[in-house]
Structure 1
Amino acid sequence: MGYRVVVVGATGNVGREMLNILAERQFPVDEIAAVASPRSTGDVIDFGDSGQELKVRNIEHFDFAGWDIALFAAGSAASKAYAPGAAAAGCTVIDNSSLFRMDPDVPLIVPEVNAHAIDGYRAKNIIANPNCSTAQMVVALKPLHDFARIKRVVVATYQSVSGAGKSGMDELFEQSRNIFVGDSAESKTFTKQIAFNVIPHIDAFLDDGSTKEEWKMVVETKKILDPKIKVTATCVRVPVFVGHSEAINIEFENEISAKDAQRILREAPGVMLVDKREDGGYVTPVEAVGEYATYVSRVREDPTVDNGLSLWCVSDNLRKGAALNAVQIAELLGRRHLQKAA
């Protein structure tokens, strides 16, 4: 016996990936509904490679009663409008927006890191999916934290345009094409030209000079992993279509060597260590596309601090950073609470 599952925002980048991953991982589905805004109502989309086609339903008229799980990938406005009602109707919401992440009554879950925290989901019947950059980082940090206790993290991100949705991907493509033929590279989605450029600005600026994306990495890491960890982030948009990368510097309370870290990461859940100290002996975003793993490379000791390490971390942001993590949360929810095994 399986579940009745709703994917909200099913026509977007993340929603489509959710459908793909539900099919790939053979999530026990008895019935699945693709739901989106009125402008997509009636569109037909594929349920992964299963051959099943889904007709998109209108979120404004959808009744969540009787459905088991709703995966929301439609942004904060839609989550604010419809997620509480879905949860109240008895459908457990797994929300990919930032809306509920810092709500103390809503668990913020990365299954490889803090699976136990899901037990608090009944307070609001809502579970939050973290920011894409936070998700991959904490997967890499968790096993190292367990071994040597992390004091401080300094991270610089290299985030792909797919993190800004289809419009971001279209803008990179169009600007690149226009530059090659000598046309103007107009910016609409991003604040500056993204083609052949990098932009140190993701989301709104805050009073202290940081951006909201950087703030998310700080507060979400504390909530998911350990409130005592100090985090500072610089988040940068780069001209890559899919796949976020991070240069992470870590200071530990206890001694840890690069060899210790490599050994630990080699066995860590969700991590794939690719760390050959030779040309090409590391993973780049292109190679991470379509993969489940969080890849770690370039593990080395930082001699400028006691007990310091630096590493390179890459993952498919549409997967582990969003859709995959949401499906993994649904799997965890089923194992620990719903218990409708296929």
Structure 2
Amino acid sequence: MPNVAIVGATGAVGQEFLKILSERNFPVNELRLLATKRSAGKSVTWQGRELEVQETTADRFKGIDIALFAGGSASTEYAQAAVDSGAVVIDNSSAFRLDPKVPLVVPEVNPEDVRWHQGIIANPNCSTIIMVVALKPILDLAGIRRVVVSTYQAVSGAGREGIEELENQMRAWTKGEDLAAQTFPYQIAFNLIPRIDVFQEGDYTKEEWKMVKETQKIFHVPDMAITATTVRVPVLRSHSESINIETERKVTVAQVKEALSKAKGVIVEDNPAEDRYPMPWFSADTDEVYVGRIREDFSIAQGLNLWVVGDQIRKGAATNAVQIAELLL
């Protein structure tokens, strides 16, 4: 059984790693919990064991087989040290995702890419993961010429601070107090913010470029036409995405529903007559990607519209990383 380290063990994704390792009965010999200096010394209960959190340093990876990095600056600081110690790193940050020497893997989409890793495997951006799981069956069925995606991203995508900020603003609003904004550039309660991460080339945000470039890499279609608009919404958990697709070949809605229904990790929830469609409230704390509102786009010859929802902390981060670790085993 492998020795496993979790880097960033006390954060939102790190805590989810612990939960998912248990739920999936991932075989673990030693579990080593690493975090920042200020979290060192904390005690965490896992599977009836009391584990002490240690400070992340370059020498903490001796004897570790798989190192799960929850994200943040620790990846650029310590991933290479982990690899040098003999561990395979599964990294949840954006540091290595577009490195041509590092596979970017979603197990339902491109599991074969794990084979060519050189010590580091990158976990894609949460919004990208949710999208490509839904798009892969359509790509296989009809090819994809163009993708237009708009996201509705939960505050937990910004970590624990994002959750606390929305909760604090809601409490303040009920008391008639001022709503303080620190994590987000503006008040998020009762609001939408059409900016996630920093602005970059062409006035697209970093989050939007992640969805474009990561999807092209995962699908091995470097010229796939993709455009994205990413929006923060006052939802605690689970990201939603409105996706418009132009396929290479004409397919019916029935064919698309059938392909998605057979796809691993996808649940089709699409019954307009009964008012059934995916929503973040119902997808939270699950691992599947939910797809609904599947319909033809009548404005173009081979167009489709989808509404896609997934828990970005689980499938969009921790679960996907643990699934990659399962592929390694």
TM-score normalised by the shorter chain: which range applies?
over 0.9
* Equivalent residue, structure 2, for 1:191: 185
CA displacement 1:263-294 (0-9 Å, x = unmatched) = 00000011011111135301210111111101
What SS does structure 2 have at the residue aligned with 1:250?
strand
* Equivalent residue, structure 2, for 1:281: 276
The residue type equivalent to 1:118 in the other structure is: V
| 1:186 Cα deviation from its structure 2 partner | 1.2
Q: Distance in 1 between matches of 2:327 and 2:173?
A: 47
| 1:63 Cα deviation from its structure 2 partner | 2.3
* Equivalent residue, structure 2, for 1:129: 123
* Equivalent residue, structure 2, for 1:308: 303
Q: Distance in 2 between matches of 1:11 and 1:74?
A: 12
Listed as ranges, the matches of 1:244-263 within 5 Å are 244-263=239-258
1:89 to 85, 97, 106: 85
Q: Distance in 1 between matches of 2:6 and 2:201?
A: 36
Q: Distance in 1 between matches of 2:49 and 2:194?
A: 42
* Equivalent residue, structure 2, for 1:337: none
CA displacement 1:199-235 (0-9 Å, x = unmatched) = 0000000131110000000000000012232110000
Q: Distance in 2 between matches of 1:333 and 1:230?
A: 32
Residue 96 (structure 2) pairs with residue 100 (structure 1)? yes
CA displacement 1:53-89 (0-9 Å, x = unmatched) = 32101102642121100000141x2111100110111
Q: Distance in 2 between matches of 1:153 and 1:275?
A: 21
The residue type equivalent to 2:182 in the other structure is: K
Listed as ranges, the matches of 1:45-194 within 5 Å are 45-47=44-46, 50-60=47-57, 62-75=59-72, 77-122=73-118, 125-194=119-188
* Equivalent residue, structure 2, for 1:30: 29
The residue type equivalent to 1:34 in the other structure is: L
Q: Distance in 2 between matches of 1:65 and 1:267?
A: 42
Q: Which runs of 5+ in 1 are unaligned?
A: 335-342
Aligned-residue sequence identity (percent) comes to: 52
Whether contact under 8 Å (1:153, 1:249) holds in the other structure is yes
Q: Distance in 1 between matches of 2:167 and 2:274?
A: 29
Residue 264 (structure 2) pairs with residue 269 (structure 1)? yes
Whether contact under 8 Å (2:59, 2:81) holds in the other structure is no
CA displacement 1:164-199 (0-9 Å, x = unmatched) = 011111100001111111100111010111001100
Whether contact under 8 Å (2:246, 2:304) holds in the other structure is yes
Q: Distance in 2 between matches of 1:219 and 1:130?
A: 10
Question: Aligned residue pairs: how many?
Answer: 328
Listed as ranges, the matches of 1:15-26 within 5 Å are 15-26=14-25
TM-score (norm 2): 0.98
Q: Distance in 1 between matches of 2:292 and 2:174?
A: 33
| 1:163 Cα deviation from its structure 2 partner | 0.5
* Equivalent residue, structure 2, for 1:41: 40
Whether contact under 8 Å (2:58, 2:78) holds in the other structure is no
| 1:333 Cα deviation from its structure 2 partner | 1.1
Listed as ranges, the matches of 1:325-340 within 5 Å are 325-334=320-329
What SS does structure 1 have at the residue aligned with 2:260?
helix
Q: Which runs of 5+ in 2 are unaligned?
A: none
What SS does structure 2 have at the residue aligned with 1:325?
helix
Q: Distance in 2 between matches of 1:288 and 1:32?
A: 29
* Equivalent residue, structure 1, for 2:208: 214
The residue type equivalent to 1:162 in the other structure is: S
Aligned-residue RMSD, C-alpha = 1.0
Whether contact under 8 Å (1:36, 1:74) holds in the other structure is no
The residue type equivalent to 2:195 in the other structure is: H
The residue type equivalent to 1:270 in the other structure is: G
| 1:46 Cα deviation from its structure 2 partner | 2.8
What SS does structure 2 have at the residue aligned with 1:264?
helix
Q: Distance in 1 between matches of 2:48 and 2:151?
A: 37
Whether contact under 8 Å (1:12, 1:74) holds in the other structure is no
CA displacement 1:3-35 (0-9 Å, x = unmatched) = 100010000000000110011000011111111
Q: Distance in 2 between matches of 1:314 and 1:148?
A: 22
| 1:242 Cα deviation from its structure 2 partner | 0.7
Q: Distance in 2 between matches of 1:60 and 1:17?
A: 22
Q: Distance in 1 between matches of 2:120 and 2:201?
A: 30
